[in-house]
Structure 1
Amino acid sequence: MREIVLDGADGVPGLVRALRDALDGTGPAVLPLSARDPRLGELRARLAPGEPAEPGTAVVVATSGSTGEAKGALLSAAALTASATATHTRLGGAGRWLLALPAQHVAGVQVIVRSLLAGYEPVVAGGGQTFAEAARTLAASPRYTSLVPTQLSRLLTADLPALRSFDAVLLGGAVTPQPLLTRAREAGVNVVTTYGMTETAGGCVYDGVPLDGVDVRIEAGLVELAGPVLASGYRLDPAATAKAFAGGWFRTTDLGVLHTDGTLEVLGRADSVINTGGVKVAPAAVEAVLTAQPGVAEACVVDLPSDEWGQLVAAAVVPAGEPPRVQDLLDAVRAALGAPAVPKLLRLADTLPVRGPGKVDRAAVRELLGR
């Protein structure tokens, strides 16, 4: 297995070449890693880049490890190609892609794969080149890019004309606050929300609708996914593979609802539900209320230990412009969700800590609020 260590935009051309060879079978499987990842040594030890990859593997992508140890998802050329092809079909045809995400994560890998299938190399933002500058070098449409919500929020202010120039802006990696999504679409940005994970070769449900070939079901309240985009398992971890993959389905840890029109609504992670005084509170629901209030850009809700409540609801809120009144935010949550969901601790913060491709680092938020 070939290890590619990236340092920002540096090294992306080498990864592009390695992925091209892995996809057509002329080269070994690829393990993309980041030189800036504090887990680099740990990932090398766990994923053994010097050892051969499991048969049929084109890329091993490290998961972000949001709940415990990170794992390496085994993605075949067929899974990556199925995902990229279905994406182009949904968007209206193959096109040119701007890579604005870390290339070692699955969303970055897929931007490269889609580009290669379209017959191009991706244009890379970074390395001294701003998003707008990189966008201007992109050839004629269709033009696509993939972002996380934090990037979208910043670019709406800094580079709105560049965002508008794309035929589609895929948005994933984290829950998107509805006000941000509304703001972007009203500004003329064609945002397509995506849901998926490393184990599904990236986003496999767009704007709530599964991509061609992808099946979705709800079992015991949890979202399960199937189709040609699935990974074959986890690198050197048969126990984790058996637990997550069974009968052609991947069992997520996300709570969800399938509506009668076939669209999927993701309600948040099952392992993040807060049990406060015997009442279960979904952080995603509280976050949705908070981010809908005037003066709120982002919010993260976590649990903190409490002798009285077992767990108490705590929130970090990033203001948008003039800071909102904390009491107004608490009153809004009470009116929408009831008293048990009201944060017993709410602090304003300049930013929310992030990890991986742009997901909010809930452990870091918990540490911040617990000080």
Structure 2
Amino acid sequence: MIVFGQILYSIDQIKAGDKGPLPPEFEQGFQFCRRWLNGQDRFSLQTSGSTGEPKIIEVYRKQLLSSVNATRQFFKVKKGWKLLCCLDLDKIAGKMMLLRALEWEAHLWVHLPAANPLENLMEVDFDFVAMVPLQAEACLNNSRTKEALNKIKNLIIGGASISVPLKEALSNLKGSVYQSYGMTETVSHIALADVKKPGPLVYQTLPGVELKIDGEQRLQVRAPMTGDQWLPTNDMVQMISSASFIWKGRADFVINSGGIKIHPEEITAKLSGLMQEFFPGKKYFFTGRPDHQLGQSLIAVVEGVDDKKVGKAFLNQAKAILPRYKNPKDIVFVTEIKITSSGKIDQLRTLATWKN
């Protein structure tokens, strides 16, 4: 069964296209399920730009099935599991939750994306849920939904990387928690990292996935999910073994400051605790700004009211944590940090509104 909002549908109803009183916001998800159940072989997907400019790609049924089956094997899924889809149904993450429910013979609750997706679902003990970091954080910050989050047997976090404080908080949950690595071109995740293990996140591939890196340490992937073709990515990694790696950051986000290459994602990991101390609850990111001496200089962009005194104190304390050549040189305050529909910080849209 699948529950779209508050309306329960059987598989036979969906296959026959018997929509009944289906709310219009679930129309796309319903039709995607119907096409799948009726044997459609090719599907069009909108990429997010992880491997280049955003575009429409076509994937085959066997690619989607390979992802569904690899995840089932990894988590040892049983018939009748209870799943929650609280992700955008326009994106691959939401679509894959629908397919997992259909192929796993699971019970699925489909809710529109919300900051705290468990607020109205605390009575259900879920076996498998996918969230973005902002959703997991919101659930943890609410005493009632924190209890519901603690009952989830398997939680995967995707769409963006998790901060060190969030990793520590998620490590205290009873169920298993994984950060996922994947993209539209790999039809969802191809590797998972156990959040509860100490140290940096180490991603382990799903069954059937092959990895290699190019001369610039950018990851390349070949798997049934990619149509058994090598797929280049813009992700820079440190290979641990032929089937495991540590994600370093996006190649297109790398900052070249005086010949030193800086990964903003690594700076975020090292300074996340300090950011929470100085700017609790505020969204932020690190990026490069043109510099006539260094080429680029590292800056912090923080959501909130400009406070030069607090900003200066933060920059001074950051010097005690980071090597001198990786210190942020300035802090910029913006009225709002934009978020994409998949829960990622939208740096380009945010910076477009900033008056330098």
Contact 2:77 2:104 in 1 (8 A): no
Q: How many residues align?
A: 314
Which of 63, 66, 78 aligns to 1:79? It is 63
* Percent of residue pairs bearing the same amino acid type: 23
Q: What secondary structure is seen at the aligned counterpart in 2 of 1:135? A: coil
Measured at CA, do residues 179 and 197 of structure 1 come closer, stay the same or move farther in structure 2, by a change above 3 Å? Answer: same
Q: Which runs of 5+ in 2 are unaligned?
A: 1-21, 194-202
Alignment counterpart, residue 219 of structure 2, candidates 206, 214, 223:
223
8 Å contact from structure 1 (residues 178, 292) kept in 2: yes
Tell me if 1:306 matches 2:291: yes
* Matches for 1:4-15 after TM superposition, within 5 Å: 10-11=23-24, 13-15=26-28
**Residues 172 and 193, structure 1, Cα contact 8 Å, conserved in 2:** yes
Question: What aligned pairs does 1:134-149 form with structure 2 within 5 A after superposition?
Answer: 134-136=120-122, 138=124, 143-149=127-133
CA–CA separation in structure 1 for the residues paired with 2:51 and 2:192:
25
Distance 1:328 1:190, change over 3 A: farther
The alignment's TM-score, normalised by the length of structure 1, stands at 0.75
Aligned residue number for residue 117 of structure 1: 103
User: Using a 3 Å threshold, how does the CA distance of structure 1 residues 193 and 134 change in structure 2: closer, same or farther?
Assistant: same
1:259 to 237, 240, 243: 240
| Distance in 1 between residues matched to 2:23 and 2:157, nearest whole Å | 24
The 5 Å alignment of 1:152-231 reads: 152-158=136-142, 159-188=145-174, 190-207=176-193, 208-220=203-215, 221-230=217-226
Match of 2:258 in 1: 277
Moved more, 63-72 or 160-169: 63-72
- The unaligned stretches of length 5 or more in structure 1 are 1-8, 28-55, 233-246
C-alpha offsets along residues 23-57 of structure 1, whole Å, 9 cap, x if unaligned? 35544xxxxxxxxxxxxxxxxxxxxxxxxxxxx52
1:201 shift after superposition:
0.6
In structure 2, give the amino acid aligned to 1:174. Answer: A
Distance 1:102 1:79 in 2: 20
Shift of the 336–89 alpha-carbon distance from structure 1 to 2, 3 Å rule, reads same
Superposed counterparts of 1:82-101, under 5 Å: 82-94=66-78, 95-101=81-87
Describe the superposition over 1:74-99 as per-residue Cα deviations: whole angstroms up to 9, x where unpaired. Answer: 22211111111211221221422111
Which moved further from structure 2: 92-101 or 163-172? 92-101
The structure 1 residue matched to 2:36, chosen from 9, 23, 29, is: 23
Which residue number corresponds to residue 301 of structure 2?
Answer: 316
How far off its partner does 1:190 sit? 3.2
Q: Give the whole-Å Cα distance in 2 for the aligned partners of 1:128 and 1:204.
A: 25
Output the CA distance in 2 between the equivalents of 1:12 and 1:147: 19
> Does structure 1 residue 250 correspond to structure 2 residue 228?
no
5 Å matches for 1:236-247? none
3-state SS in 1 of match to 2:89: coil
Mapped to 1, the partners of 2:115 and 2:341 lie a distance apart of 21
Q: Structure 1 340/193 Cα, relative in aligned 2: closer, same or farther at 3 Å?
A: same
* Worse-matched range after superposition: 152-161 or 252-261: 252-261
- What is the Cα deviation at residue 170 of structure 1? 0.8
* Residues 356/151 of structure 1: CA separation in 2 closer, same or farther (3 Å cut): same
Alpha-carbon distance between aligned partners in 2 of 1:130 and 1:330, rounded to the nearest angstrom: 32
Q: In the alignment, is the contact (CA less than 8 A) between 2:33 and 2:98 conserved in 1?
A: no
Pair 1:135–1:175, CA change in 2 (3 A): same
Name the SS of the counterpart of 2:121 in structure 1: helix
Task: Give the Cα–Cα distance (whole angstroms) in 2 for the partners of residues 324 and 182 of structure 1.
Answer: 29
Pair 251,67 (structure 1): closer, same or farther in 2 beyond 3 Å: closer
Number of the residue aligned with 1:359: 344
